[in-house]
Chain A
Amino acid sequence: MNKKMIALFAKILKIDPSEVGPECNHETVASWDSLKQMSLVVAVEEEFGVQFEDDEIFGLDSYAAFEECVSKKI
């Protein structure tokens, strides 16, 4: 899962895969705005075949949060 998720984040946020990791969140990555946030949600849902709940979406503001949430679902 990790490799796929890192590649996805790099693609959507247009950053180098090496920059994707535990430190990566909406404050540390300049391109991570509210629209990119929705792109990440759509892309992760499609890639991993999962669906987030409303309340979960609000909390998905970091790479770590995505990773944790997806791992609970697959």
Chain B
Amino acid sequence: MDRPSYPDLVEVLEATELPDGQAYKVGLLSNITLHPMEDVVRYCLSVNGIRANVTTATYDNIVQEATQYNDAKVVVVFWETMNLIQDPDALRFDYTEADYLALLEKIKVEMQLCLEQLGVHPLIVFNRFSSLGLTVDELNSGYIDRLVHELNEYLELLAVEIKNLYLVELDKIIISFGLKESFNWRFYRVSKALYSYPFLFNYVDFLEPVILSAFGKAKKVLVLDCDNTLWEGVLGEEGVSGIKPYSTAQRTFASLAKRGVVVCLCSKNNPEDVDEVFTLRKDMLLTDEHIVLKKVSWGDKATAIREIAAELNLGLDSIVFLDDSNFEVNLVRESLPMVRVYQVPHNEAGVNMLAKKIENVFFNLNSTAEDARKTAMYKSEVKRNEARVCHSNMDAFLRSLDLTVSVSVDDTAHAARFAQLAQKTNQFNLTSKRYLESDIDSMIDSEAYAVVGLSVSDRFGDSGLSGLAIVSLVNEEASIDSMMLSCRVLGRRIEYKFFEALVNVIEKKQITYLKADYIETAKNSQVSDFWPKLGFSQAVVDAPGQTSYLTDLGGIRYPEDTSFIKVIYE
């Protein structure tokens, strides 16, 4: 994000004042005055299309008010060393070993209490303790450094157990921004406002990928130009042997592909020339196996990127585009504002720095085994689409796929992948409830819920765990809390087979009535009529954009033939 001046930021926020209605809750807890963090967080979320109510708890009431934020989506905790005790100088001059140990114990208990109160629901963004502002110019290391060290060790320990706790390397952010620019000692003296506005902006900017990941807005696709982006030089002028690969950047992109980022090329060149580079140049670290789609032509790049989104069945706002050309960068920025665009600098050091930045942009809270196989999965999806063109008859095509789905119930081994699905699935998602792994774990353990997973495979490959449904069971009534399918398995009638399997699971639990909701979002209109198509009748419109449906098990009908899909119950 480019940093606007503070008055400009206030103006932008004023112009985009939140309309009434559902907005995410975001909380800031702090033992210093965290001004103007609230505005900065709201700004960051609003430029990413997220509506949120951001509030700051009362000054220095972290433990007392934590419980008010256990239903928030994200909670940021600034627990500052500077203000742990009234007079930090006492730690330097007056403290005995016994005083120190008592203080350490007290803060540990408070931290534990605070995290307990916040519970398993919100993503807790917690700063590691830092002594930089206090002891950076001291030769002797005393109680303050020791306290910071021991509290951080304790935090590490807590983070092993608490899955929704993300620890922030506050020291790194302060140092990279500069000590002098980070702190505002004048304001600290006057009003305990420790950090400068530019620092807080930098802090939020640095953590943006972490926060977006919690809102299910993590980036998924990396679209790369070739000339002067993947290598130095223009292929059409210098030829296959004349270009020089940017190896550090290529290595980064290849590692992103291995972690599940969908890497595509978008270049104005002759396709056979680019193919030749990948075949002949053995010093290319980014290779064909990492690349899902190549759009190499002389057409305009905005159109090419639109095609990429359509072929992958992913939203434009999940795409990051890199190009060195001013023209292309501006064209894509203007015609596709939802695409995140970075301009590649004209020197290798700059390219390397940008590659690091890009690695951060694709930060993902939950990495799973599925991620590592994603490139292969998307590649087989592209092959499937090609096969589809050959088959004029859709039914014949679907039959030719040899589709198999396998269904699991309450399998804890899948919890991490379930959480990832819940956070990232946008299009085929009936209620879009964004659960964390800890939420999923507790529902799997609970008798009142059935957590059903779906894996899909066909003759082109294995799409892995692609579907999740959560059903709450009360007496004779089952209610579908969540149902979603990863977009990479759509268009194969898998959704109806999934529902059929779900009904099979429920039937065994003496259920007669089935309830289901549809909650409208900007992206899930394709499932707005999913329940009526299955024979549900509309019960009530609970709120604008939210409709409840009801059916008895006998009333269910299937709109399309799915007999060609084989089902295995795990």
Contact = CB atoms under 8 A, between A and B. Distances in A.
Does B associate with A? yes
Interface of A: 8, 11-12, 14, 34-35, 37-39, 41-43, 46-47, 51-54, 57-58
A11 B10 contact: yes
A35 B35 contact: yes
A52 B14 CA distance: 26
Contacts of A8: 7
A57 B186 contact: yes
A41 B14 CA distance: 19
B184 to A, nearest CB: 9
Contacts of B7: 8, 11-12, 43, 46-47
B10 A38 contact: no
Interface string B277-288: 000000000000
**Nearest 10 Cβ contacts at the A-B interface:** A43-B7, A46-B5, A38-B35, A57-B190, A46-B6, A42-B6, A43-B6, A54-B186, A42-B197, A47-B7
Contacts of A43: 6-7, 10
Given A42-B197, A46-B5, 5 more contacts: A11-B11, A11-B14, A39-B6, A47-B7, A54-B190
A38 B36 contact: yes
30 contacts: A11-B7, A11-B10, A11-B14, A12-B7, A14-B14, A35-B33, A35-B35, A37-B191, A38-B36, A38-B187, A38-B191, A38-B193, A39-B6, A39-B10, A39-B35, A39-B36, A42-B6, A42-B35, A43-B6, A43-B7, A43-B10, A46-B6, A46-B7, A46-B197, A47-B5, A47-B7, A51-B186, A54-B186, A54-B189, A57-B187
Nearest to B7: A43
Q: What's the dominant secondary structure at chain B's contact region?
A: helix
Nearest to A58: B190
B203 to A, nearest CB: 16
B33 A38 contact: yes
A54 B193 CA distance: 13
A73 to B, nearest CB: 15
Interface residues of B, number: 16
Interface in B177-196: 186-187, 189-191, 193
B36 A42 contact: yes
A51 B184 CA distance: 11
Contacts of A14: 14
Nearest to B11: A11
A54 B184 CA distance: 11
Contacts of A35: 33, 35
Contacts of B197: 42, 46
Contact of A12 (B5, B10, B187, B193): B10
Contacts of B6: 39, 42-43, 46
A51 B186 CA distance: 10
Nearest to B189: A54
Interface string B185-222: 01101110100010000000000000000000000000
A37 to B, nearest CB: 8
Contacts of A38: 33, 35-36, 187, 191, 193
Contacts of B193: 38
Nearest to A44: B7
B28 to A, nearest CB: 12
Of B7, B11, B14, B36, which is in contact with the most chain A CB atoms at under 10 Å from its CB?
A: B7
B330 to A, nearest CB: 28
Interface in B53-70: none
